[in-house]
């Protein structure tokens, strides 16, 4: 997920990571529910369960496999944002974690903050920045809904920059035409 810093304001779009909820909610009995409640703990959670993979139940191994897969997807997603953002990234990737049945924390969500503020007085620079924002937002193989919103905002910023460039070019051309038509040579 990509977040944006515009001026002095930070806007964060929360990605719906409901996929990991289905990992832990696919329980068949209450005992498994109780075991998996500890799986749903996030970032600040602590657990005394530090089981080795061989000691885990079949359902815990399934949850663990899905958490590992999600961790890899999230980290690749945020790395793609960060690589494409270049100089407009205001921070590295940050992650939301979930503790697995093995006691290890796995990334289930993340974000990269980028500067989406406009470039006043320089429509060409504004256009380049909008293109970078759009590339960064759409860099992952599967952009989230929030990533698509950021890309749409960048597209609007690019359109505004193009309109400003067009206006600037028209003003320059009109200025030259006015000067060309005002001088007449009357000597013969």
Domain ranges of the chain: 2-174
pLDDT beyond 50 at 146: yes
Instruction: Note the pTM of the prediction, 2 decimals.
Output: 0.67
What is the structure's pLDDT at 55? Answer: 85
Burial bucket for residue 88 (CB in 10 Å: 0-12, 13-18, 19+): middle
The pair of structure tokens assigned to 13 is: 């779009």
Q: What is the pLDDT of residues 34-82, one digit of tens each?
A: 333 333 333 443 344 556 667 889 999 999 999 999 999 999 999 999 9
- Residue 143 reports pLDDT greater than 80: yes
For residue range 148-160, what is the model confidence (pLDDT) as tens digits? 999 999 999 999 9
Quote the pLDDT of residue 172: 82
């Amino acid at each position: 997920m990509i977040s944006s810093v515009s001026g002095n304001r930070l806007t964060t779009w929360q990605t719906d990571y409901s996929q990991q909820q289905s990992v832990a909610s696919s329980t068949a009995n209450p005992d498994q529910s109780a075991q998996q409640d500890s799986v749903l703990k996030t970032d600040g959670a602590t657990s005394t369960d530090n089981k080795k993979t061989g000691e885990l139940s079949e359902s815990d191994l399934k949850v663990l496999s899905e958490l590992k897969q999600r961790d890899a997807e999230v980290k690749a997603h945020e790395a793609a944002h960060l690589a494409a953002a270049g100089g407009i990234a205001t921070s590295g990737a940050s992650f939301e974690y979930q503790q697995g049945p093995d006691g290890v924390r796995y990334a289930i969500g993340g974000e990269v903050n980028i500067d989406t503020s406009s470039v006043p007085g320089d429509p060409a620079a504004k256009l380049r920045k909008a293109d970078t924002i759009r590339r960064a937002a759409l860099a992952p193989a599967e952009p989230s809904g929030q990533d698509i919103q950021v890309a749409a905002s960048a597209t609007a910023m690019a359109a505004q920059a193009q309109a400003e460039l067009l206006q600037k070019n028209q003003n320059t051309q009109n200025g030259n035409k006015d000067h060309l038509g005002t001088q007449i040579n009357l000597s013969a």
